[in-house]
Amino acid sequence: MHDPNAVTLVEARGLSAGYGTSVVLEDVEFDLRSGERMAVLGPNGGGKSTLFRLLLGELEPFAGELVKNTAAAFVPQTERSRLDYPVSALDVALMGTLSRLPWWRPNGRRERRFAREALGRVGLAELADVQFGELSGGQRQRVLVARALVQDAPILFLDEPFVGVDRPSEELLEQLFADLAEEGRGIMVATHDIEQTYRYDRVLCLNTRQVALGPPVQTLSRDVLETTYGGAIVTLPGEGRPAAILPPHHH
């Protein structure tokens, strides 16, 4: 968003969506530009995953318009992948080639080299041949990020990539996202961790509808956070920022 030459990668206008006849997300309106890192903040059930399903084309919107101008790579929540599957970290990273290479063509030396490089970028070059299920939670998450790097798309969607991730993995991934944005990619990260969103260019707050959108420091006011989480905000002494959310009051 600092770059005047940035192009719009995703554009959402008046988007609403849901399942069956029930609407779970409405009034969503944003654009994601090249080189931008956007956090999607909201509670469980707030519509983050629904938004991602829309963005990935797995769900049709009830109303509104969603334009995706280019291909997207995806990092799903790590607990969705099978740990008993007979694959190495390299095998998982290589799965990213399916969206680029025709499905009937076996992976060649070029794809293997690319996948190893991607594992190197997430700091797992040494563990490429280790069974995926034997890696730690943070390492598995990094393998899934490597798989998205192999997809090599201008957009990267990540669904809660920091859940169950150790501190070194988190720092490495944050630096990687900054580097990827520097390369001109647009990055959207779903999270429910308020503190984390301050490291991103903009934050999109969702709670069954769009609550706010903008740079975190200006956007994450007490009102916005209370509306996003449907609770009361606690500010700890000496802290400038809201630090905790209390559950909503029941009258």
Partner 1 sequence: MRRALLELLLLGVAGSLVGCWVLLYELAYSTESLAHALFPGLVVAALLGLPLLAGGAVGVLAAAIAIAFVGRIPLVERDTGVAVVITSLFGLGVVLALSPSSPPGLESLLFGDLLGVTRGDLVISGVLVAATGAAVVTLHRPLLVAGFDRGSAGAFGAKPFLVDAALLVLIAVGVLVGVQALGNLLVISLLVGPAAAARQLVDRLPAMMGLATVFAWTSAIAGLYASYYLDIAAGAAVAAATVAMFLIAALVGVLRDT
Q: Which residues bind partner 1 (CB under 8 A)?
A: 56-58, 72, 74, 76, 80-82, 85-88, 91-92, 95-101, 103-104, 106-107, 131, 147, 151
Residue whose CB is less far from partner 1, 47 or 96: 96
CB 86 → partner 1: shortest distance, Å?
Answer: 5
Q: Sign (positive/negative) of CA torsion 239, 241, 247, 251?
A: positive
CB 66 → partner 1: shortest distance, Å?
Answer: 15
Residue whose CB is less far from partner 1, 75 or 194: 75
CB 48 → partner 1: shortest distance, Å?
Answer: 15
Residue whose CB is less far from partner 1, 91 or 201: 91
CB 98 → partner 1: shortest distance, Å?
Answer: 4
Residue whose CB is less far from partner 1, 76 or 138: 76
Residue whose CB is less far from partner 1, 95 or 163: 95
Residue whose CB is less far from partner 1, 156 or 194: 156
CB 61 → partner 1: shortest distance, Å?
Answer: 16
Closest C-alpha to 153, from 38, 77, 70 = 70
127: phi then psi, degrees, rounded to nearest 5: -105, 15
CB 144 → partner 1: shortest distance, Å?
Answer: 9
Both structure tokens of 2: 């600092």
